[in-house]
């Protein structure tokens, strides 16, 4: 069993948990993920490794409460245990040799972007972090990004925090001011990554994106996480989750990602009602 050592709400819908998982922490690298089950009859869900501590033997996960399983997960407390916690899965991000990188994170995708920025900083690269949120109340990991960034741009859709605008606005401004990047790494909503890639393609800057499609087993067997990359079928769980953003078919990925949203909302509502009934 995998004990929850720390639980911290980062904003009204996003929670951080630190899990006791020494074998996974020993091998984890940025870009990889785990698959967990809250209980024996629970759904398997993938979550990117947001951080790891090899000495303490812990894995940090950050999740947004959007469906039934994340609602159940958020009701666990420090000291409780997860039934399954499997990993590290996926291919680690290829970061060695990069000298100057723009790391672009959007919303809860910043939880995936942060360990990448941290690793690049440890490797001695110049890191420019561009992070964006809908509003001030949704900001997460600001101090952590600042600690590993040579330059940081904070953006918000409504202008309630940082600079008003989109992450693409900040990235465009940096590129047009003369900043030259070996690579741009973009992690966030599919629509955000699509437009970041459209911008960088104009300037011929290599761009890597982290894809998080529907996933079941995490081993490439089920085929649920398939994507079209460069006209070929790839599986995010074993071929990724990192891919060349200029080759990803984002329109197909967005269509597939929306397939189960009504079902997800219904299950979330049912689970919330179940917990409310238990609290009475």
Q: 222, 60 in Cβ contact below 8 A?
A: no
- pLDDT classification of 14: cutoffs 50, 70, 90: very high
Determine the pLDDT at residue 277: 60
**In the chain, pLDDT over 90 holds for what percent of residues?**
75
Determine the pLDDT at residue 280: 52
Where in the chain is CATH 2.40.30.10?
2-89
Which tokens sit at 223? 């085929």
Please give the CATH topology (third level) of the domain spanning 100-210. Answer: Rossmann fold (3.40.50)
Prior bond of 271 cis (ω within 30°): no
Determine the pLDDT at residue 229: 94
Where in the chain is CATH 3.40.50.80?
100-210
> Is the pLDDT at 74 greater than 70, yes or no?
yes
pLDDT digits (tens, 9 = 90+) for 220-241: 777 878 899 999 999 988 888 9
Determine the pLDDT at residue 224: 79
Q: What is the mean pLDDT of the chain?
A: 91
pLDDT digits (tens, 9 = 90+) for 91-130: 999 999 999 999 999 999 999 999 999 999 999 999 999 9
- Per DSSP, what are the bridge partners of residue 209? 186, 243
**Distance (Å, whole) CA 156 – CA 165:** 6
> Is the pLDDT at 271 greater than 90, yes or no?
no
| CATH class given for the domain over 2-89 | mainly beta
Which tokens sit at 38? 């809250």
pLDDT digits (tens, 9 = 90+) for 159-206: 999 999 999 999 999 999 999 999 999 999 999 999 999 999 999 999
- pLDDT classification of 217: cutoffs 50, 70, 90: confident
Sheet holding 58-64, edge to edge: 81-82, 2-11, 14-20, 58-64, 45-53, 33-37, 84-89
Q: Is the pTM of this model over 0.85?
A: yes
């Amino acid at each position: 069993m995998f004990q929850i050592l720390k639980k911290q709400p980062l904003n009204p819908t996003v929670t951080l948990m630190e899990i006791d998982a020494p074998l996974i922490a020993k091998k984890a690298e940025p870009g990889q993920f785990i698959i967990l089950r809250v209980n024996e009859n629970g759904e398997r869900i993938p979550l990117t490794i947001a951080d790891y501590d090899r000495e303490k033997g812990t894995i940090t996960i950050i999740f947004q409460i959007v469906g039934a399983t994340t609602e159940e997960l958020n009701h666990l407390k420090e000291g409780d245990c997860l039934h399954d916690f499997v990993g590290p899965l996926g291919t680690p991000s290829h970061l060695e040799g990069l000298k100057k990188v723009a790391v672009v994170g959007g919303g809860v995708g910043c939880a995936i972007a942060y360990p990448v920025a941290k690793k690049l900083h440890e490797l001695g690269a110049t890191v420019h972090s561009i992070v964006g949120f809908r509003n001030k109340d949704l900001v997460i990991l600001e101090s952590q990004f600042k600690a590993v960034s040579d330059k940081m741009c904070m953006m918000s859709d409504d202008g309630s925090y940082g600079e008003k605008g989109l992450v693409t606005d900040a990235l465009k401004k940096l590129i047009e001011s003369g900043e030259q990047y070996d690579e741009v790494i973009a992690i966030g909503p599919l629509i955000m990554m699509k437009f970041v890639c459209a911008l960088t393609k104009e300037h011929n800057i290599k761009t890597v994106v982290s894809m998080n499609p529907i996933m079941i087993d995490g081993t490439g067997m089920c085929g649920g996480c398939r994507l079209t990359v460069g006209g070929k079928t790839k599986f995010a769980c074993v071929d990724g989750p990192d891919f060349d953003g200029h080759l990803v078919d984002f329109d197909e990925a967005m269509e597939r990602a929306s397939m189960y949203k009504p079902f997800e909302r219904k299950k979330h509502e049912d689970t919330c009602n179940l917990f409310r009934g238990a609290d009475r």
